[in-house]
Chains A and B, each alone.
Chain A
């Protein structure tokens, strides 16, 4: 009796070990065929009862064919792209010893071990833009990264100089003040303290660049090199502008200096300025908007109202825009929920899908690699239990560079 029990235990151990090894191997493989009742490619009409073949981390075929294991799901979309992911090292991600730090890159300040990358991946985000925290007027270069894989830049970087990040409004000046008493040794006593001051620093930066002024010190010279790329249209300028007045200021700056590519970031109230948006040809990234339309800004104790049809308004104006989730974990403000809410406001499904995939990819110049299901692109896919973005649908699987990060077959219901 005892020996039978012992043998059973041994058998169980062997079986378990074999299964673990098999599971390990599966997660390592990068050849798959994903079959779905609906394939939403974000590049043309959806394909009914289609399949996506994946080989060597790339999309090998769309529609039919393919090898490797088969994954059967209700729907598949490209991996989602979030341009306002807020996974950073906070204050340590931005150099505040001067109000302009254009040549510094957030790539040197990332925490790729943060659990929030995994959270983003689980909410369907496979590519994200990381930027320095907005405590400088011009904070530095933002980078585009994959949200999964080994925690090194080499493994995750998609684009190292995706945007130059700046901020208009109250945040860059918060914490600064006039010199007081006999303790003027902090640089927070010298920087702009008002919206007017912030705009002045911004304008001075581009003005000095055009005049070639102040470039005698090495850091300013490096900053101005970056500014010249922005002025040429080589590099998009991402400006955080929340309130209507900040949206206006950002657009006036774009027009004054003829900056070709400007993305208004976190532009909660951009919908209030339709004519300016159309005239200036800016792109817009909306922050996650709660279902009640009330956006609180805890940092500067301000709040904004956004109607449910804000995204639809932008679409009707043909303003390029992206929805975002800021790596939010709250139900309703995750990026997939945002695409659903925007549809409630009248946006078409196709436009909502584009606003979380190919549109943000184009804004930061990574559309050749990600953003749609097309042959040759990275195999980043989100697998759904039903129609994407519906409140009744779940994300059941995620593939990133052809690797199965979340396995739809392991899903418990």
Chain B
């Protein structure tokens, strides 16, 4: 009797648990067929006149010239279908929430608890063909915390502890070279004179952060070496490669320091930043590591040397991906970065990998997203043409086999012109 009650209770719980997640579009069937002019399952693997079969949110198969199953829904697309794009290193939906400079070492802080899932940043990213984002905590902290990977549709967390964020940049050092100019109020709630007026040091944002170790590269290394000697916890998992790392490093000497540390502790993951990664000495140092490089975000006046880093790294066999840093940069800029990398000599396949499979690997989720191989999450984009061609448009974006974004209908351009000139 009690056994039967227990069993029915368990069944009820199971029924609750297996109900689809709430959110727009989540109730739609997650099984669909897409016939397209071309389907790119991975970089350099293009199938013409192809049929993509998605069953229960995952890719089942991609076949050339296959017959569609009349029982299943079919979408016909006169264009290119690729895996959804992946943006590394962004603040989407979490602006100002990923920095906590009260402590310089916060290895268990979780970026997964920093973002607002209803923030329009995620919808914007989805509209730009980005189906997954990595949110990296605290690059002004020596150890910022744990990166999370989020699917843009419904802001669902795919990986809560994707990488451990560590900073080798001077931005993480207590009192860095560039001192702020902002005089902060003295006492809390009081309008008393500032310390500077009293002849003391200016209470700038920087000097306030002066309460923290370390203030130097050597001090930072000393602290990191101690942390990596711990027998358990995030550092122990990172040493040896179980938990990937994201190491921020900007100047070339910082990149070399990070690379050296990564070799010493057998780290896997990525360097984030490295604007001069095209330097042959930097490339040589990175080849000794198991690290890739997350480049960007690039500004409009970025030097050619920076843009060439994708080519230089790819030629050396080092995986590359792009940082987006939304909302400072609009998600549409991700494709702009890719186009500029192409312009600066990188190969088409290398750049496409940087947007998809290499990005998935560098943010610590190599098995679920980044390609349209069987078993992967059915996150894909319907393009009018080559996604690296900036004139190509997005017609629809699917996440977990469900159409989550559709291009708004718009009048043909000549029609609009006619209206305008009438």
The 7 sampled A-B contact pairs (Cβ below 8 Å) are: A89-B170, A101-B216, A151-B252, A181-B187, A181-B192, A182-B186, A186-B201
Most buried by B among A104, A112, A183, A219: A183
Q: A393 in the interface, Cβ–Cβ < 8 Å? A: no
Known: A97-B214, A104-B218. A183 touches B175 (CB 8 A): no
Shortest CB–CB separation between residue B263 and chain A, in angstroms?
12
Beta-carbon contact of A111 and B208 below 8 Å = no
* C-alpha gap A89/B174 in the complex (Å): 14
* C-alpha gap A92/B174 in the complex (Å): 9
Most buried by B among A95, A101, A114: A95
Known: A89-B170, A90-B177, A91-B177. A183 touches B208 (CB 8 A): yes
Total chain B interface residues with beta-carbon distance under 8 A? 39
The proximity string for B residues 147-169 relative to A, scoring 1 for CB distances below 8 Å and 0 otherwise, is: 00000000000000000000000
Q: Which of A96, A101, A140, A185 contacts B175 (CB 8 A)?
A: A96
Beta-carbon contact of A151 and B256 below 8 Å = yes
Shortest CB–CB separation between residue B2 and chain A, in angstroms?
59
Please report A residues at the B interface, Cβ cutoff 8 Å: 89-97, 101, 104-114, 132, 140, 150-152, 175-178, 180-183, 185-188, 219
Known: A91-B175, A104-B222, A186-B208. A152 touches B216 (CB 8 A): no
Beta-carbon contact of A110 and B253 below 8 Å = yes
Beta-carbon contact of A97 and B174 below 8 Å = yes
Beta-carbon contact of B253 and A95 below 8 Å = no
Q: B22 in the interface, Cβ–Cβ < 8 Å? A: no
Q: B203 in the interface, Cβ–Cβ < 8 Å? A: yes
Beta-carbon contact of B188 and A182 below 8 Å = yes
Most buried by A among B177, B207, B210, B216: B216
Shortest CB–CB separation between residue A337 and chain B, in angstroms?
29
Beta-carbon contact of A92 and B173 below 8 Å = yes
Beta-carbon contact of A186 and B210 below 8 Å = yes
Q: Which residues of B contact A132 (CB under 8 A)?
A: 216, 218
Beta-carbon contact of B187 and A182 below 8 Å = yes
Please report B residues at the A interface, Cβ cutoff 8 Å: 170, 173-177, 186-188, 190, 192, 195, 198-201, 203, 207-208, 210-219, 221-222, 251-253, 256-257, 279, 281, 285
* C-alpha gap A152/B263 in the complex (Å): 14
Beta-carbon contact of A97 and B195 below 8 Å = no
Most buried by A among B190, B192, B210: B210
Q: Which of A114, A151, A188 contacts B210 (CB 8 A)?
A: A188
Q: Which residues of A contact B199 (CB under 8 A)?
A: 177
Beta-carbon contact of A186 and B207 below 8 Å = yes
* C-alpha gap A187/B217 in the complex (Å): 18
* C-alpha gap A107/B260 in the complex (Å): 13
Residue of B whose beta carbon sits closest to that of A177: B200
* C-alpha gap A16/B174 in the complex (Å): 52
Known: A182-B188, A183-B203. A140 touches B218 (CB 8 A): yes
Beta-carbon contact of B253 and A113 below 8 Å = yes
Q: Which residues of B contact A92 (CB under 8 A)?
A: 170, 173, 176-177, 215-217
Known: A182-B188, A186-B207, A188-B201. A95 touches B219 (CB 8 A): yes
Shortest CB–CB separation between residue A186 and chain B, in angstroms?
4
Shortest CB–CB separation between residue A189 and chain B, in angstroms?
8
Q: Which of A96, A113, A182, A183 contacts B215 (CB 8 A)?
A: A96
* C-alpha gap A97/B214 in the complex (Å): 6
Interface on chain A toward B: helix, strand, loop, or mixed SS? loop
Q: A90-B177, A180-B200, A181-B192 known; 9 other A-B pairs, CB under 8 Å?
A: A89-B217, A92-B173, A94-B215, A108-B217, A111-B253, A113-B251, A150-B281, A181-B195, A187-B211
Beta-carbon contact of B257 and A108 below 8 Å = yes
Known: A150-B281, A151-B253. A95 touches B186 (CB 8 A): no
* C-alpha gap A152/B252 in the complex (Å): 11
Shortest CB–CB separation between residue A88 and chain B, in angstroms?
10
Beta-carbon contact of B251 and A111 below 8 Å = yes
Known: A92-B217, A104-B216. A178 touches B200 (CB 8 A): yes
Known: A104-B222, A151-B256, A151-B281. A93 touches B217 (CB 8 A): yes
Residue of A whose beta carbon sits closest to that of B226: A218
* C-alpha gap A109/B174 in the complex (Å): 14
Most buried by A among B188, B252, B253: B253
Q: Which residues of B contact A176 (CB under 8 A)?
A: 201
* C-alpha gap A188/B212 in the complex (Å): 11
Q: Which residues of B contact A90 (CB under 8 A)?
A: 177
Known: A89-B170, A182-B188. A108 touches B201 (CB 8 A): no
Residue of A whose beta carbon sits closest to that of B188: A182
Beta-carbon contact of A152 and B218 below 8 Å = no
Known: A90-B177, A181-B192. A109 touches B210 (CB 8 A): no
Name the 8 nearest CB pairs between A and B, nearest first: A95-B219, A108-B218, A109-B217, A97-B213, A185-B211, A177-B200, A111-B253, A104-B218
Q: Which of B208, B215, B222, B251 contacts A91 (CB 8 A)?
A: B215
* C-alpha gap A108/B203 in the complex (Å): 29
* C-alpha gap A182/B217 in the complex (Å): 30
Beta-carbon contact of B252 and A113 below 8 Å = yes
Q: Which residues of A contact B188 (CB under 8 A)?
A: 182
Q: Which residues of B contact A94 (CB under 8 A)?
A: 215-216
Known: A110-B253, A112-B253, A186-B210. A95 touches B198 (CB 8 A): no
* C-alpha gap A113/B279 in the complex (Å): 10
Shortest CB–CB separation between residue B415 and chain A, in angstroms?
52
Q: Which residues of B contact A111 (CB under 8 A)?
A: 251-253
Most buried by A among B208, B215, B218, B257: B218
Q: Which residues of B contact A185 (CB under 8 A)?
A: 208, 211
Residue of A whose beta carbon sits closest to that of B203: A183
Q: Which residues of A contact B208 (CB under 8 A)?
A: 183, 185-186
Known: A91-B173, A92-B176, A180-B200. A97 touches B253 (CB 8 A): no
* C-alpha gap A44/B174 in the complex (Å): 51
Q: Which residues of B contact A97 (CB under 8 A)?
A: 174, 212-215, 219
Beta-carbon contact of A180 and B198 below 8 Å = yes
Shortest CB–CB separation between residue A104 and chain B, in angstroms?
4
Q: Which residues of B contact A105 (CB under 8 A)?
A: 218
Beta-carbon contact of A104 and B219 below 8 Å = yes
Beta-carbon contact of A152 and B201 below 8 Å = no
* C-alpha gap A152/B200 in the complex (Å): 40
